[in-house]
Chain A
Amino acid sequence: MDKEFITRGVKRCSGGKFLLWLTPWVLLLAFGLFSAALVLIKGLNQTNMDNRFAFGLWIFLDLTVIALGAGAFFTGFLLYILKIDDLKAVINSAVVIGLVCYSGAVCVLAVDVGQPLRAWFTFWYPNVHSMLTEVTFCISCYLTVLAIEYLPIVLKNRRLREVPSMLVFEHELHKLIYVLAGVGTFLSFFHQGSLGGLYGVLRGRPFAFREGLALWPSTFFLFIISAAAVGPSFILLTTWLVEKISRKKLVKPEVPGLLARISGLMLAVYVLAKTVDTLVWLNRTSPERGFQGWQYYSWRPFGTWILFAEIVVFGLVPALILLSPKLRANAGWRLSAAAMACCGVALNRFVMTVQTLALPTLSFDPFMSYYPSWQEVGTFLAVVAYGVLVYSFSFRYFQLFPQERDLRVQTPPQREERELITAGRY
């Protein structure tokens, strides 16, 4: 049925199987859209957020997702600017992941605000001092860049190439790609930073407040580095996942190693910077503002363990694993380290968003707790489902892994493997 859409030389499962695979995700998406609609129509009272927990699950996950999506810009940066050509093998996949993460995050943000119809005021009456303005501008611009970067992948599709003008268009785009990569990198660096700045500038919340280097608080730079560190790790994980699910080799064996090395390197830098930052904050920044550092960690359940987990368990450890050639050569070690790195950054975003709001600021405040409502969870699941769907389609109809074809040619599949393929299984 849709054979003529599928890239030459690669095998994809039958349409029926594909639909079967899509069904659960479509259902999930439907449920998510329903809960999002509830919030939009009935208002934010559908969530469990309140005046004290003004931000909740959504902001936390937006920050996480955007950090994971950073693989797109960082790989692009390494490939097009630093000319590490091996990364060509995953750049398309990275771009799709980036697009999914960013567009998803933006959609959730649109649900998260009380009056979406006024969201454009930020562009018309921007407050240049606000980190959120910076974020809004950069994310929307970078989303456009990602869309344009995504186009050539789409245009490479067999059927579309039959339209001559499309071919020309794509050719033109390709000349542009370096510019785009450059712009994208700049924008992305910037807003990853401003996302960190969001909390670093909260002088009213000494737990989040950080002193500045130049214009921005230290969290600005920490977020950039951490994002750059987990981006490759996340690509590593997704690629492996796709290989497992589709039962195909998609990239040459040296590529994951390279990704792991980059990730490990950045992670090491991040852990170092984070440690220094934490020490400065605990011993100077916070006490100067009347808040003794130790007291933050005496509100159960947020003890010092959270600090340890964030920096050592999910920071230092994976960094070391990824840095040692022997360990990262082993897929098991490599993947678990990558996973840990991702968890580490997620934990960091959780601490910055949720713990910041949970901790009391006034002496007569209680410690606050918050559990998301099903509408909040549902809305976010919609983004996950949407991501899987977009990726699945892209994987089926576009060439996300250029090496896939060559790999098939080099290593003719074993018999059972061939049977599987002819049987049209993933």
Chain B
Amino acid sequence: MTTRRDLFKITGGAAVGALLTPAPWRMITDGALWSENWPGIPRPARGEIRAKFTNCTLCPAGCAMKARCVGDQPISLAGVAGHPLSHGALCPFGIAGHHLPYHPERLLSGAVEDAAAAIKKGIGEGGRIAVFDTRPGRTASWTYRRAMASLPGGLYLRPQAALNGNAVDLSAARTVLSFGVPLLDGWGTPGNVIQARGNFRLIQVEAIESRTAAMADLWLPTNAGEERAMASIILNGGMDHIARELENGPVLVLGPEDWPEIVELNRKYGALGRTIVSRRDAPVPDTWKDAAPEMEWADAAEGSIRVLLIDETAPGAYVPWHSLETKLSRDAVVVAFTATRDGYARHAQFSIPTAVFPEALDDIPAAVDSPAGVFRLSTSLVPPAAGTIDPAMFIARLAGIDAASALRDRAGAICRSARGNVFHYADSKSTPMKEMKADAFWKSLNEGACWIDDLDPKAPAPKLVARAATRASNVSLVETCGAGLVSPLFSKLHEESHVRLARHEIALNPAGGFHDGERVALQTDCGRIAMTVLLDPSIPPGSIQAATGADVLDLCGGVTGAKVVRI
């Protein structure tokens, strides 16, 4: 019979034996190896590395992009070196643009049929129909105008045109006087601004030391809301050291365009025709000439619009809803074509999901700092998500016009004009337009190219018109994770560091009596939004810095006297 001691013996032997086999050591090693392939960690797809080219549609700059792809999937984006407009630069929004199709908050479903029915009903009842286009001048914009022309009472509305539709020639400027314009923080075409930066002196008038103010040659701090007073002082030669600076021309004065002072300063210092020039836009087919005229939204009659179709697929100037709303009739139908729930979708009865960059095929008109007209395509790098709608096609079908080949037709028109040059991204070579056939032009546009018009020798002198000026707000808005979608990786810039303000974050001076991370409400006559406080001593007392975002723009756009209140 076996005793306990026998068991000891056997176990002992087994233990010794086991140590002499690979088994225990294998298991220890495998344990560590298992931790290399930690559960739930994705494995990057492998495959051939290819380069594709496109243009960014996330802002009106339309910077040229080189996409590094595994197979067909873009995995990173970079600028196109030597590009005559964007000079190889990309902003952080563009650099991570290829993540947008996978954004968790993307809008992917909407009641398309119901929307169509409601629109038809609205038109049937004889109401005015209008398209509000956040980025005019695109081929899609022309499609809207043609559609509206063919619909009874159709209107094409656009935001206020920057500089009255004129362009800025930064390369000509020697002194730039800017009233709170974020010149070095995403204004115009970032690459172009940086390229020209060495040649001009920058004087920044701003309450807060913004990124631009921090980089300016001279920063004139003003009290929040007193920028305009400062402008008229300078205009009347009140600050002679600034006046002396401005003698070093050519001068460019930038600021809220509805201030008469800005217009006057530009006149006084001879900016018109030198640093502010009129631009000839890319030609369109003659058959489009009967399209509806562009109308600034402000000029539409109050309460006149029965059906409003908003296209915010191409982010541009955002018009606060409380202003736009006044144009609607009581029983108006509002349809927003968008990829995000944050914009006009918050106010529209129907939100129709659209493709996002880099899914959509679109063109990007010239940016404000491009004196020459341009034509470039944003070719789709990945197929549009299921269930998304192309607003141009939708509205064209509504009006019963054919716009399927609009882009190609326009390319044809440009080719026929035989003006300008085509810059090819793959080899950074330029070929004169007159030397290219329409098909070749179209092909290279899709493979990554940009048509740049010649400067118009007999361009008319640019005109600037002042309007009834709104008072300046004490909220300075910084472009952060603003309207529309941004890559989830932007968490690096706010959540995981404090380089930029996150949405619904406001920066205040510690003297304000609030504490870091406190939940407060930003309040104006238009309402209030819950915000989180970040204390920043570089913000002057009384000023508020907030990240742009449709809701914040609705709250602060064109209104003054914003205040922060405890919840």
A and B touch in the complex (CB under 8 A): yes
Q: Which residues of A contact B32 (CB under 8 A)?
A: 117-118, 120-121
Which residues in B have their C-beta under 8 angstroms from that of A121? 32
Chain A 115-142 interface 0/1 with B at a Cβ cutoff of 8 Å (1 = within): 1011011000000000000000000000
A118 touches B28 (CB 8 A): no
Partner of A115, one of B5, B28, B35: B35
B214 to chain A, nearest CB (A): 15
Q: Which of B17-35 contact A (CB under 8 A)?
A: 28, 31-32, 34-35
Residues of A within 8 A of B34 (CB): 117
* Docked complex Cα distance between A165 and B32 (Å): 40
Q: Which residues of A contact B35 (CB under 8 A)?
A: 115, 117-118
* Residues of A close to B31: CB separation below 8 A: 117
Output the least CB separation between A82 and chain B (Å): 38
Q: Give A165 to B5 CA distance when docked, in angstroms.
A: 10
Report how far A165 CA is from B4 CA in the complex, Å.
13
Mark contacts of B30-53 with chain A using CB atoms, 8 A cut-off: 1 yes-contact digit, 0 otherwise: 011011000000000000000000
Q: How far is the CB of B111 from chain A (nearest CB, A)?
A: 41
Closest A residue to B34 by beta carbon equals A117
Q: A43 to nearest B CB, angstroms?
A: 11
- CB nearest neighbor in A for B33: A117
- Secondary structure at the A interface, as helix, strand, loop or mixed, is helix
Q: Which residues of B contact A115 (CB under 8 A)?
A: 35
How far apart are the CA atoms of A120 and B28 in the complex, in Å? 9
Nearest CB on B from A243, distance (A): 38
Query: Could you tell me which residues of chain A, from 229 to 287, have a CB within 8 Å of some CB in chain B?
Result: none
In the complex formed, the residue of B with least CB distance to A114 is B35
A79 to chain B, nearest CB (A): 33
Q: How far is the CB of A65 from chain B (nearest CB, A)?
A: 28
Closest to B38 in A: A115
A121 to B28, CA, bound (A): 10
- Determine the distance from Cα of A118 to Cα of B28 in the docked complex, in whole angstroms: 9
Give complex CA distance A366, B567 in Å. 29
A residues 299-348 in Cβ contact with B at 8 Å: none
A374-B40 Cα distance, complex, nearest whole Å: 28
A157 to B32, CA, bound (A): 40
CB distance from B235 to the nearest CB of A (A): 40
Q: Which residues of B contact A120 (CB under 8 A)?
A: 28, 32
Q: Which residue of B lies closest to A120 (CB)?
A: B28
Residues of B within 8 A of A118 (CB): 32, 35
Nearest to A165 among chain B residues (CB) is B5
B312 → chain A closest CB, angstroms: 38
Minimum Cβ distance to chain B for residue A366 (Å): 11
Contact with B along A6-18 (1 / 0, CB 8 A): 0000000000000
B355 to A: closest C-beta gap in Å: 37
B424 nearest CB across to chain A (Å) = 45
A382 to B35, CA, bound (A): 27
Smallest distance from the beta carbon of A250 to chain B beta carbons, Å? 35
A-facing mask of B525-553, CB < 8 A → 1, else 0?
00000000000000000000000000000
B1-13 interface mask toward A, CB cutoff 8 Å, 1 = contact, 0 = none? 0000100000000
- A81-136 contacts to B, CB under 8 A, are 115, 117-118, 120-121
B70-101: CB near A (< 8 Å → 1, else 0) gives 00000000000000000000000000000000
Determine which residue in B5, B34, B35 has the highest number of CB atoms from chain A within 10 A of its CB, and name it. B35
Closest CB in chain B relative to A371 CB, distance in Å:
16
Question: Whole-angstrom distance between the alpha carbons of A118 and B35 in the complex?
Answer: 8
**CB neighbors of B among A36-76 (8 A):** none
Within 435-465 of B, Cβ neighbours of A (below 8 Å) are at: none
Name which residue of chain A comes closest to B28, CB basis.
A120
CA distance A117 to B31 in the complex (A): 6
Q: How far is the CB of A41 from chain B (nearest CB, A)?
A: 12
B517 to chain A, nearest CB (A): 15
CA distance A48 to B34 in the complex (A): 27
Q: How far is the CA of A118 from the CA of B38 in the complex (A)?
A: 13
Which residues from chain A contact B28 at a C-beta distance below 8 Å?
120
Contacts of A165 on B, CB cut-off 8 Å?
Answer: 5
Give the one of B28, B31, B32, B34 with max A CB within 10 A.
Answer: B32
Bound CA–CA A160/B195 (angstroms): 87
Q: Mark A138-180, 1 if CB is under 8 A from B, else 0.
A: 0000000000000000000000000001000000000000000
B234-268 to A contact mask, C-beta < 8 Å, 1/0: 00000000000000000000000000000000000
Separation of A117 and B28 alpha carbons in the complex (Å): 8
CA distance A120 to B25 in the complex (A): 11
Complex CA distance for A150 and B67, rounded to whole angstroms = 67
Chain B residues, Cβ within 8 Å of A117: 31-32, 34-35
Give the distance in Å from the alpha carbon of A115 to the alpha carbon of B34 in the complex. 11
Q: Smallest distance from the beta carbon of A271 to chain B beta carbons, Å?
A: 42
Measured CB to CB, the nearest residue on chain A to B36 is A118
Bound-state CA distance A120–B32 (Å) is 9
A121 to B5, CA, bound (A): 37
| Closest-CB distance, A150 to chain B (whole angstroms) | 20
A165 to B28 CA separation, bound complex (whole angstroms): 34
- Give residues of chain B (160-211) contacting chain A, Cβ–Cβ below 8 Å: none
Distance between A117 CB and nearest chain B CB, rounded to angstroms: 5
- Cβ distance A155 to chain B, nearest Cβ, rounded Å: 15
A426 CA to B139 CA in the complex, in Å? Answer: 93
Against A, the Cβ 8 Å flags (1 = close, 0 = not) of B343-366 are: 000000000000000000000000
Q: How far is the CB of A129 from chain B (nearest CB, A)?
A: 23
A115→B5 CA distance, assembly (Å): 39
Q: Which residue of A lies closest to B8 (CB)?
A: A165
Shortest beta-carbon distance from B19 to chain A in Å: 15
Bound together, the chains give a CA A118 to CA B31 distance in angstroms of: 8
Contacts of B5 in A (CB 8 A): 165
Given A120-B32, A121-B32, 9 more pairs with CB closer than 8 A? A115-B35, A117-B31, A117-B32, A117-B34, A117-B35, A118-B32, A118-B35, A120-B28, A165-B5
11 A-B contact pairs sorted by A residue (CB < 8 Å): A115-B35, A117-B31, A117-B32, A117-B34, A117-B35, A118-B32, A118-B35, A120-B28, A120-B32, A121-B32, A165-B5
| Residues of chain A at the chain B interface (Cβ within 8 Å) | 115, 117-118, 120-121, 165
Q: Which 9 A-B pairs have the closest CB atoms?
A: A117-B31, A117-B35, A118-B32, A117-B32, A115-B35, A118-B35, A120-B28, A121-B32, A117-B34
